[in-house]
Structure 1
């Protein structure tokens, strides 16, 4: 992580400090006074309800070496190592940008509507066989989280895998110009953020902003089956291109995919006789693995090393996480996020998964889909196969539209819709025998992991 004296920091961002403290050394940064570690630079943000400046003295007493202080906030403590700045957020971003310039490191930037975190995790796993790698932790993928991640990078880190999220146009542009990736990955273009951006075309444009910070002759890896990306990048000559997808027109595509309750087995073009094992369910996750493999190949990781690494890949929680329930049922916890594309992919997975007597789906609201949100939900319900899925449970006001669509193909006694989570749990428990597989999926705001927790053995 960043280790600098206050004098050095004044050369990295616009600030003023008392020369008495110029030799004070900071180690790492922190924006939460409750989580301050020894030597941190504390960053106080001034919000509508809470002003972080009131915690500056306490943060230093807990071990922080120094703190920023916003210029228009009165009474900065003269007896403490303080850096006066116009805006602590801008200063944080300036510091991260300057620190990134000093690092001799490869940066992999990852964006997309679905699968960003899973792909980031897979890339990290593959590269860790050969390099010292750090990645974005949690959801630190925005204008605050990305600078914090960059400033947490160790001097000896060789590759950083940075997730870049967005909700509006221009946000990826800012992040990629801050991180300046050597490799950029776009996992796909879905419907998330339709509410803010209005169309899939606009979403594609926003995701493509990741190329704005890409190093000259850098590599972009993207989902080649997406026409919105292919058309935009067809005449691109500023950087190199590799694609992944199901079509044989891609640089890397699967020759076959086999799904079991333990995960996925697949082979790839050019290595038809080699089987790659992935302890993660879903064909869409095989695509995420292909994206990761292209990145690893660019950095000279052998396919033999990738094969071994993929067998033991570990993903962030609540992404196709397989859990055993109290009666022995299997639960697929995919409750971190949802869009029509990812929900249909998860439903398709459970529909054709073999080895279970019954299949149950528990689906909640998909958020931020804009004016057509009810139509998207109803289409998900209509898309389900009543011959393969025994019960449909929905949660939330938009989930009711999933149920409405499902009732066009399912009998009434196999579709249940709730706005009360506990009532859903009680009804779900009443139909479980222990021989089922249960998919639980919704947008993060629905907190459907609470359903999973209630069923865990």
Structure 2
């Protein structure tokens, strides 16, 4: 079956699934393979649960006319998404970056939805499987789509850009993350910069944090024609000012050369999110939204999934930011807790993963930074942090040990930073805070 023929079947009822646990009646089920699974074996089950068609790449599972046999199911899914994207005559905004890409994507969705029927990547479906699935969820009524793209090795953003074909794009920032795959900070810049390469080649519009020297260097090296700058200095197209961050952000923003200032009170915490808010304002303004529409979208957005999320417990205010962590996001979170005006503070940090050869020194830097902050309790959890013992701080090898320590000696009436890589399972500490 050609991709055009497969697309014809998809258009009859454009629903796609890769998980038999979440079959939508009438969908097309793609039987993907992984290191530890082979969904070809679930083809019959998918049909029983309501799938209209299944796409397989092992002949023994192509039992009847409802089974489409291809050479590689993953390639078929990606090709179908690429073909579907080619039929969409709408702005598609590609978003990547080391930190803040999911929050920025959600802010863009909140703002653009004030005027347009907007689709945005669900959750963090931002890889070689998630991006195709996201594109195939964009229907004919959608007027703007925001597609998040993640990467942990070179050429991944280039590959995803070739599928999503963004007309507009932004890199939130570049920092030390996934160093095992990228090799170095320069490797991170090269990999993320593949989005700039695509926009340059296809005459796309770039939105850039105009005060970020790394992003500026990356943009100048490519000489992109259409650039919209946002930031805090006066030479940006969108000029912002952080007013408050205690703990929720209030910002001012205005258009360059205009005196009218927009004051926005958000439900986001973390001073590092101010530039993500400005990014959404910049995109909204470029796509024709009024200042009122932009402000309404920004104020309506409420973070979830433990990303810059403020949680009020019985006695504490917890900045729950433990969905993910790397050296740059950790440092930004520490700067934020230091900036916040609170009667009493506590810092709980967990190990960062995928840091490669720089793990030891980066964890050491963060311990030194954290112990310099005025806080009643400074707690470090995980084997990487455990290697750096400092007086006046607490170190535990596991999250369970930290939990027991907090049960024995609770933290009360404090503003608490809770940040770690997802694998540390810091949600278990919420039970004792």
Where on the TM-score scale, by shorter chain, does this alignment land: which range?
over 0.9
Query: Are the structure 2 counterparts of residues 293 and 273 from structure 1 closer, same or farther at C-alpha, using a change threshold of 3 Å?
Result: closer
Task: Please name the residue that 2:398 is paired with.
Answer: 420
Instruction: Report how many aligned residue pairs link the two structures.
Output: 429
Q: Does 2:307 correspond to 1:329?
A: no
The reply to whether residue 345 of structure 1 matches residue 327 of structure 2 is no
Deviation at 1:366, TM superposition (A): 1.1
Q: Please point out which of 114, 117, 125 is paired with 1:132.
A: 117
- Give the corresponding residue for 2:5: 10
Give the match for residue 155 of structure 1. Answer: 140
- Does residue 268 (structure 1) correspond to residue 253 (structure 2)? The answer is yes
1:63 maps onto 2:50 in alignment = yes
Give SS of 1:243's match: strand
Q: TM-score, normalised by structure 2?
A: 0.93
Q: Cα distance 1:225–1:416, how it changes in 2: closer, same or farther (>3 A)?
A: same
Structure 1 counterpart of 2:289: 301
Going from structure 1 to structure 2, the CA distance change for 1:257 and 1:80 (only over 3 Å counts) comes to same
Q: How does 1:171-190 map to 2 (within 5 A)?
A: 171-190=156-175
- What is the CA deviation profile of residues 263-307 of structure 1, one whole-angstrom value per residue up to 9, with x for unaligned ones? 111112445643111211111101111111111111111122212
Aligned twin of 1:242: 228
Q: In 2 relative to 1, CA 84–278 (structure 1 residues): closer, same or farther, beyond 3 Å?
A: same
Deviation string, structure 1 residues 105-160 (Cα, Å, up to 9, x no partner):
21011000000000000000000100001111112100000001111112101111
What SS does structure 1 have at the residue aligned with 2:346? strand
What whole-Å deviation, never above 9, does each CA across 1:202-240 have from its counterpart, x for those lacking one? Answer: 211111111343374321112233333212322644541
Cα distance, 1:171 vs structure 2: 0.2
Alignment of 1:189-268 (within 5 A): 189-214=174-199, 216-234=202-220, 236-261=222-247, 263-268=248-253
Residue 361 of structure 2 corresponds to 375
**How far apart, in 2, do the equivalents of 1:108 and 1:28 lie?**
22
Cα–Cα, structure 1 residues 387 and 292, in superposed 2: closer, same or farther, change >3 Å?
closer
Of 60, 78, 82, the match for 1:75: 60
1:288 paired residue number: 276
Question: Per the alignment, in what secondary structure is the counterpart of residue 236 of structure 2?
Answer: coil
Point out the structure with max Rg over C-alpha. Answer: 1
Q: Aligned pair 1:312/2:300, yes or no?
A: yes
Distance 1:8 1:202 in 2: 35
- Over 3 Å counting, the alpha-carbon distance change for 1:238 and 1:347 in structure 2 is closer
What's 1:43 paired with? 30
Aligned mates of 1:377, 1:163 — CA distance in 2: 28
Aligned with 2:424 (options 423, 446, 450): 446
Q: CA deviation at 1:82?
A: 1.6
Measure how far apart 1:198 and its partner are: 2.0
Q: Structure 2: how far apart are the matches of 1:38 and 1:362? A: 45
> Aligned to 2:395, what secondary structure does the other structure show?
strand
1: CA distance between counterparts of 2:94 and 2:19?
Answer: 26
Corresponding position: 1:145 with 2:130: yes
Aligned residue in 2 for 1:455: 432
Given the superposition, is the C-alpha separation of residues 12 and 283 from structure 1 closer, same or farther in structure 2, using an over 3 Å criterion?
A: same
1:399 Cα deviation (Å)?
2.0
Unpaired segments of 5 or more residues in structure 1?
1-5, 14-21
CA contact (8 A) 1:24 1:65 kept: no
1:30–1:43 contact (8 Å) kept in structure 2? yes
Does the 8 Å contact 1:347/1:384 carry over to 2? yes
SS at match of 2:268: coil
Q: State which drifts further: 75-84 or 158-167.
A: 75-84
The separation in 2 between residues aligned to 1:313 and 1:79, in whole angstroms, is: 47
Shift of 1:362: 0.7
Alpha-carbon shift at residue 330 of structure 1 (Å): 0.8
Once residues 25 and 315 of structure 1 are traced to their aligned partners in structure 2, the CA distance between those partners, rounded to angstroms, is: 36
Deviation, structure 1 residue 69:
1.8
What do the CA deviations read for 1:372-422 (whole angstroms, capped 9, x no partner)? 211111111111354621111111111224x53xx2xxxx3x411112323
Following the alignment from structure 2 to structure 1, what is the Cα–Cα distance between the partners of residues 21 and 343?
49
